[in-house]
Amino acid sequence: MLCVSLIPHSLTELKSQLRKAARLSFLIELRADRLPITHPNRLPVLKNRPIIFTCRPRWAGGFFKGSETARIQLLQSAIDSNRFDYVDVEYGIFKRLKRPVSGKTRIILSDHNFKKTPNNLNQIYQKLSRLKPDVIKIVTMARDISDNLKIFKLHKYTNRGIPLIAFCMGEDGLISRVLYKKFGFWIMYAPLEFKDATGPGQIPYFDLKHLYRADRLNKQTKIYGLIGQPVAHSLSPLFFNHIFKQKKINAVYLPFRFKNLKSFKSFNDFLDVLGYSVTAPYKTSIMRYLNHLTPLARRIGAVNTIYPDKIGVYRKGPGPTNLIGTNTDAWGAWQALEQAFRSYQTGYDYRDKTALIIGAGGAARAIAFWLRLSGMRLIFVNRHYLKAKKNALDFKAEAIKFSSLPGYKEPVDLIINATPLGTWPRTNITPLPKKFFKPGMIVFDAIYNPPETRFLREAKEKGCLTVSGLGMFLYQADAQLKLFLP
């Protein structure tokens, strides 16, 4: 069940927010931290909507400015008023409050850790359960995506008769908020809008409900996702989750922000993820964590797709034996550029043409693979010259130093940006000065967010044919989808 979380500044704002929340959710949390009240009887309630009353101090991530004594009195008044279905209290003050003798009010006993996700979550649960609350709530800060696994392991307590709320805060805790129902946790909080978040990493109601369909997931839900750093800019969750919803597939696609890949195997083994997209900076480094690679992935030297071995082609061995690494970037780039070339002129001849590829990562290698097959002369340029030199050796191409690029005089027919420079939110960055572009050039940017980067905009202003990375994204994602699904 999704719970809309409200944290209004005034009673007028509260009334407006309650009306909006009542149209969206059955359960509502009212955070009274910012309200100028001394007694909860002044607060409006809804007859047909259960309400959780919460008031957090600053030390617990809240905004209550009064003394701790005043806050405890407010919580006790909320309990005694019998106007709220639940009152959320922290473990540290639980024994200072009198529990309701009769009436509808129930106690949510919560424990928050705003610094980390500790290893002793089992002990914390036992500590809270000994006080026999109506609901137990354990919330921690995720410092790494692997911290979510600690929270998920609390699912063994969800069948003990006491509803359990458990999730991680912060950007790295996103998956625990989306997968709460898959692991049997009771509710998940969501603000009406991102600006109204009551805790770090909260997902707005619309995204949690309609993008991830979190309240419709269950123990049988299949998991797919994107590995990268960063991942917030990616359109992959929107693309895949839309397809899953449209085709009524019990699956969800999540952004997995790995700060490094050390925990990849344990992460995959626990969640049993059935397919991954891979983005920067892990398209080459992920290969060492897979023991099955397609010939195409080996030739390109980069993986952007990991999919299940549905027919048992590979024998079991070390590593995630049910997953195969391949590359759909090359296909996506080829399709996008072919479409652009056809609009440029009939029968575009790649031979005797020169392509300048900026970047030396997995995307650069995938694009170079197809261009080299097409007969183009390739030139790699990268801030780290040795990486450009290695790519040049692998693809029988040339490499030049980035510092020598402004004075480069050789004719170039195609320029490709295969770096993340210009990706949202740092959209004012470009890998090349505007003066480098010449009329008639074809300029391709592998970036798709934003669809028109500064790199493309300046190239267009100089009379170049420009190609957005959005086409490449859609073609490669469609190829991934065919590999992911049965």
Residue among 150, 181, 283, 389 flagged as catalytic: 283
C-alpha 264, offset from chain centre: 16
Closest Cα to residue 383, out of 410, 402, 408, 405? 402
Closest Cα to residue 294, out of 326, 268, 262? 326
Beta partners for residue 253, in sequence order: 224
For 215, the token pair is 């309240």
What is the DSSP secondary structure assignment for residue 258, as one 8-state letter? -
Within 13 A of 316's CA, how many CA atoms are on the CB side? 0
**Rounded to 5°, angle at Cα 352 from 351 and 356:** 100
For 100, the token pair is 């309701």
Is 283 a known active-site residue? yes
Distance between CA 40 and CA 208 in Å, rounded? Answer: 30
For 336, the token pair is 């996008």
**Rounded to 5°, angle at Cα 184 from 180 and 188:** 35
200, burial (CB in 10 Å: exposed 0-12, middle 13-18, buried 19+): middle
Print burial letters for 98-115: b (CB count within 10 Å at least 16), e (below 16): eebeeeebbbbbbbbeee
Closest Cα to residue 76, out of 31, 111, 39, 47? 39
Asked whether the beta carbons of 143 and 170 are under 8 A apart, the reply is yes
Within 13 A of 56's CA, how many CA atoms are on the CB side? 18
C-alpha 452, offset from chain centre: 22
Is the previous residue joined to 425 through a cis bond, with omega within 30 degrees of 0? yes
Distance between CA 293 and CA 296 in Å, rounded? Answer: 8
391 CB neighbour count, 10 Å cutoff: 22
Residues labelled catalytic: 283
